[in-house]
A and B are shown apart, each in its own frame.
Chain A
Amino acid sequence: MRYSVLAIAALLIAAALIAGCSQQASTQQTSAAGSQGVVKVGVIASLTGPASNVGTNMWQSAQVAADKINANGGVTLKDGTKAQIKLVVGDDESTQAGGQKAATKLITDDKVDILVGGYSSAVTSAYEQTIAEYKIPYIVTGASSPIITHRSDIDTSYIFHHCPTTDTYGQYTTQFIDQVIRPAVNKKLGASSDRPFRLALLYQDTAFGKGIQTAVNDTITKNNLNIVLVSQQSFKMGESDFRTQLTAIKAANPDALYLGAFPNEGAPAITQARRDIGLNTIFLSAENNDNAQFYKDVGQYGEGAIIESRFSPYTAPAGTVATDQDAFKQAYFAKFGTYPDMMGASTYDGVFIAAKAIGNAGTTDKATVRQALVDLKMPQLIEAMKDNTISFSKDYRESSFDLWMEQLSPDAKSGETRPSIVWPDNLKTTEFVLPSWYAAGSST
């Protein structure tokens, strides 16, 4: 017995030593690679845990971007040498602790030159302190809360936000309601143009959902819009039963319902509202709902619903972005056999932005790359940007997207619904319509 214990202990020690040696070998290998003209881009993504679907998409999109950059010769550095992009992934495990671990590992063990990625705002903000400490440029391509670069408790000067924030989508969606849905409802009712529009909110009780709630309230107040918030209901993240909140919302007689929800919440909320509660209204969702699973889950109940978006699996805006988005979708499909989603698209952009910044800096020196990101002005890639240009604002280092609104209509072939862009005018492919079954909150 004693010998068995000793043998097991010896085996464990041997295993630990072998693991240590392997780790050492791996580190040395990457160090050697670093000196051979390789730019190391760390990608922080949720490969495991509840957000793994989105995380895997982000990581795979980064690979498609790196393949394209490398196929075109890589990044040109100051001394004229070409460097290939080498991606290293860090799994944040969809948790704050996992995010902290992933960021630290990528920076200290893998010694990446720049970081791209980050999905959940709560997870991303948990390791921003590490980014501040090591002063490594980080292009956040998934987290949507403005706190990512607005917070003042830590130094966020190395963090650049290439993803619309809840402020932006709340503002766009509210303006769309005011400019498009409100007149359409008034026309249907034969009501005067000064009839107040009755909007209800159902939002996730997190920075994401509250961000949308705040943005809607602020947009209405700031622009003095003729919109009244008749009900504001919240729910816990991951909730799947919304029937009670929806009953309360229906009792408030809304003209439309804006959902600050993730796709796994938004799809059942719309289904339960239409099927169980009989709430026949227009549902508006945030952009993260624009993925294939959402369309599958919401099925026919999605008819007439609106999604604010910037990248869709089933549609593209009028103009050149459509061609570029299609090329990305095809390259992604050729490599992985599935199609990318929105967070994948911004991560694809993010790797190109990282390569461009390092190319402009001509070096991987962190401070110089940061300055290159501050000064960056590059043509838009696969997402429609303001002035067709990717650049970061001077105050909070946020890029400005051209967002659009899609309306879902039945698709006989799939038995689901499919989107068409209805706003703004420069991107739309069709007009917004109120479904025949639509019931306004009040008759006048």
Chain B
Amino acid sequence: MDDLSIFLQILFWGLYAGCIYILLATGLNLIFGVMKVVNFAHGEFLMIGAYITATIFFLSGINPYLIIVLSMLALIAIGAVVERFCFRPILGTGKLNEIFLSIGLIYIFQNGAAMIWGDAWQSVKSPYDGITVPIGPLSVPLDYIIIIVVTAAILCALYLFLKRTTIGMQMRATSQNRKGAMLVGIDVERIDVISFGLGCALAAAAGTLWVVSGQVFNPYMGSIPAVKAFAIIILGGLGSIPGAIIGGLLMGLAENGAAFLLGGIWKDAVSFIILIVVLVIRPTGLFGGKEG
């Protein structure tokens, strides 16, 4: 392997890792943007999405890339229930309540998943396993190209939804000014449910792509990605969807670059080093608006 091939290969792995982060962080930012709630249990929605996809795949043998739709729909429903019965009652009562509620949810979801699916690590084989596509000097597995395309498609769909549909515009309005949105007649509680459900659906998409890419999963898989998703949205700017996308991509590339240049143990650390640097230089994040 020459240096250029190695560089391109690392860049590609960073892009793939970035896709999972982007979906997770975008969902988290969607929820934060509209509801301003801190949900540390967001990684658990990724985990549930992964298990739903794997379960349907094991039972039916349907192409796991098609199951992503079912998994996202299921998570919209689960997210709506969690919003209605957990977050709505404590909305506006203080960040501490949100933090402890979401920590409680982490335990409930992890132990619930362990009861249903067991603690053991599991994996899924993609139907395209072993198929590679030559791109320049690289020979890239087809699965990763599909993952990148699926992520781009989901983000485009989200963009169109937010820009072109009435609900999307209502979500943006609520995100910009909750009281103003209420004054013009927007049912903000309904928007909260939709945003939370949509955010969870994006986490489910991330979980599905995680599973399809051949990575192992278990009920505790969501904790670290959730922390990273928080770092990404702070890095990109709280409530900013473009910020989450750029932040996610940056995180994926930085992690893989650091793992190659400095060693695997720096993989997680480098994301937070970048976060600290960005916050020192620009406290509102890369794409964050002015405070206050």
List the interface of chain A (C-beta within 8 A of B). 48-50, 52-53, 205, 233-236, 238-245, 247-248, 250-251, 263-264, 267-268, 271-272, 275-276, 278, 293, 296-297, 299
Contact = CB atoms under 8 A, between A and B. Distances in A.
B6 interface: yes
Interface string B1-42: 100001001100110110000000000000000000000000
B268 A236 contact: yes
B118 to A, nearest CB: 8
B17 A241 contact: yes
B96 interface: no
Contact of B9 (A240, A247, A267, A297): A247
Interface of B: 1, 6, 9-10, 13-14, 16-17, 114, 118-123, 125, 129-130, 139, 141, 144, 214-218, 220-221, 224, 256, 259-260, 263-265, 267-268
A251 B2 CA distance: 8
Contact of A276 (B118, B141, B221): B141
- A243, A248, A264, most chain B CB atoms within 10 A: A243
A237 to B, nearest CB: 10
A52 B119 contact: yes
Nearest to B20: A241
Contacts of A53: 118-121
B265 A264 contact: no
B280 to A, nearest CB: 25
A239 B214 contact: no
13 contacts: A48-B119, A53-B118, A53-B121, A235-B265, A236-B268, A239-B264, A239-B267, A247-B260, A248-B6, A264-B121, A275-B129, A276-B144, A293-B121
A209 to B, nearest CB: 10
Nearest to B125: A299
A245 B141 contact: no
A123 B74 CA distance: 37
Given A247-B260, A268-B214, A297 B123 contact: yes
B123 A244 contact: no
Nearest to B255: A244
B205 to A, nearest CB: 18
Nearest to A276: B141
A250 B1 contact: yes
Contacts of A233: 263-264
Given A50-B220, A53-B120, A244 B260 contact: yes
Nearest to B7: A247
A239 B5 CA distance: 24
Contacts of A234: 263-265
Nearest to A271: B214
Nearest to B123: A297
Contacts of B224: 238
B6 A267 contact: no
Given A236-B267, A275-B130, A297 B141 contact: no
Contacts of A267: 123, 216
Given A236-B264, A297-B121, A244 B259 contact: yes
Q: Give the 4 A-B CB pairs with smallest separation, nearest first.
A: A235-B264, A264-B121, A52-B119, A240-B215
A40 B119 CA distance: 29
B13 A247 contact: yes
B265 A268 contact: no
Given A239-B267, A243-B256, 15 more contacts: A48-B114, A52-B119, A53-B120, A53-B121, A236-B264, A240-B215, A244-B10, A247-B6, A247-B9, A251-B1, A263-B121, A264-B216, A293-B120, A297-B121, A297-B216
A245 B6 CA distance: 11
Contacts of B114: 48, 52
Nearest to A265: B216
Contacts of B215: 240-241, 268
Given A244-B259, A275-B130, A50 B119 contact: yes
B120 A244 contact: no
Nearest to B264: A235
Scoring B9, B129, B224, B264 by chain A CB atoms within 10 A of each residue's CB, the highest score goes to B264
B35 to A, nearest CB: 31
Given A53-B119, A247-B9, A268 B216 contact: yes
A58 B100 CA distance: 34
B265 A205 contact: yes
Given A234-B265, A251-B1, A275-B214, A243 B13 contact: yes
A239 B221 CA distance: 10
Contacts of A239: 264, 267
A59 to B, nearest CB: 13
Contacts of A49: 119, 220
A247 B268 CA distance: 18
B260 to A, nearest CB: 5
Contacts of B256: 243-244
A416 to B, nearest CB: 11
- Interface centre among B16, B119, B129, B141, by most A CB within 10 Å? B119
A145 B144 CA distance: 37
A264 B218 contact: yes
A158 B128 CA distance: 54
Contacts of B268: 236
A246 to B, nearest CB: 9
Nearest to A297: B123
Contacts of B10: 244, 247
B264 A278 contact: no
Contacts of B1: 247, 250-251
Nearest to B2: A251
A236 B216 CA distance: 15
Nearest to A51: B119
B179 to A, nearest CB: 33
A328 B130 CA distance: 38
| Residue from B10, B259, B263 having most chain A Cβ neighbours under 10 A | B259
A208 B81 CA distance: 43
Contacts of B263: 233-234
Nearest to B219: A50
B264 A245 contact: yes
Nearest to B214: A271
